[in-house]
Structure 1
């Protein structure tokens, strides 16, 4: 955990109808001083949308050689490299060579995020999924954020429904390829 990090706790109830995942779990999320609330909320949503056995947060923006979220199998091999925000092409290239699958979740406009990668060397770039949300969705959730949080996340037909501390918001999970 980075020095000066703010700890947020989340009691999560997850119902991902699309994948048949129904879980309840508690998360402690360390928000690095340079990390925005929007980035942290996106990181939390990426964790929920990618939830499977072996998933874990890394040190987030403080991690130099790891993405925000990793999925490992029981042998320690990296199954999924999950970036948040607007990672550079070199990070995606590196992650794509290490992991079976790479995904990016952004709280920003996905057009400019993907445009930066155009023409850059990225291993298996056509297999990297770039996920984003409808305008205002992340901002609505950030407005409800507290240090201790109760969150319900439901996904059905790639539509995301979130209740965070009594505030509800919904968005399509918009997916495109990185290039």
Structure 2
């Protein structure tokens, strides 16, 4: 018998002073059986950073043809393709050809090893950006994972804070490829 996804619900309020974006999103997140709470929360963080009315959760981990998140224009063309974790270079290069911009959010302590292995291979793709979330920050985000969440995300001057009740996590980012 196949394991089913676990459903998480999040009310995500975003105040992004850098982009002048303010909104609340009701997210229904299906956590694949092979996905960790840490990866789920980095996915929520990526949503908050790029939030718009057109940004949606895709099949990601359960479908090799879709990212974790994407944003399409009115014609169906992919404006933004977002991957979470450590995708292989073939997947990234294919995404680069299919979309305007590809964003990768890596988050584990071994991410620097992964990036060192693929950096030369993806260097020619100018529309791929790689952002690393330090392991301490992603571990702190993991502690916030709950089946029902009320999250507030504040972004100002490049700084990000994610809050759930009494817990606030400042999330630094390291840009490895722009």
- Alignment TM-score, normalising by the size of structure 1: 0.91
Aligned equivalents of 1:124, 1:71: Cα separation in 2: 23
Give me the CA root mean square deviation.
1.8
Structure 2 gaps of 5+ residues are: none
Q: Are 1:80 and 2:77 an aligned pair? A: no
Aligned equivalents of 1:146, 1:119: Cα separation in 2: 38
Q: Secondary structure at the match of 2:118?
A: coil
Structure 1 gaps of 5+ residues are: none
The residue number in structure 1 matching 2:23 is: 23
Equivalent pair of 1:68/1:82 in contact (CA under 8 Å): yes
The residue number in structure 2 matching 1:35 is: 35
The residue number in structure 2 matching 1:115 is: 116
Equivalent residues in 2 for 1:28-177, closer than 5 Å = 28-109=28-109, 110-120=111-121, 122=122, 124-177=124-177
* Cα deviation, residue 136, structure 1: 1.3
Aligned equivalents of 1:124, 1:73: Cα separation in 2: 25
- Alignment TM-score, normalising by the size of structure 2: 0.91
* Cα deviation, residue 124, structure 1: 4.4
Runs of 4+ that moved beyond 4 A: none
CA deviations 1:128-158 (Å, max 9, x no partner) are 2111223411211211221000100111111
Aligned equivalents of 2:95, 2:67: Cα separation in 1: 8
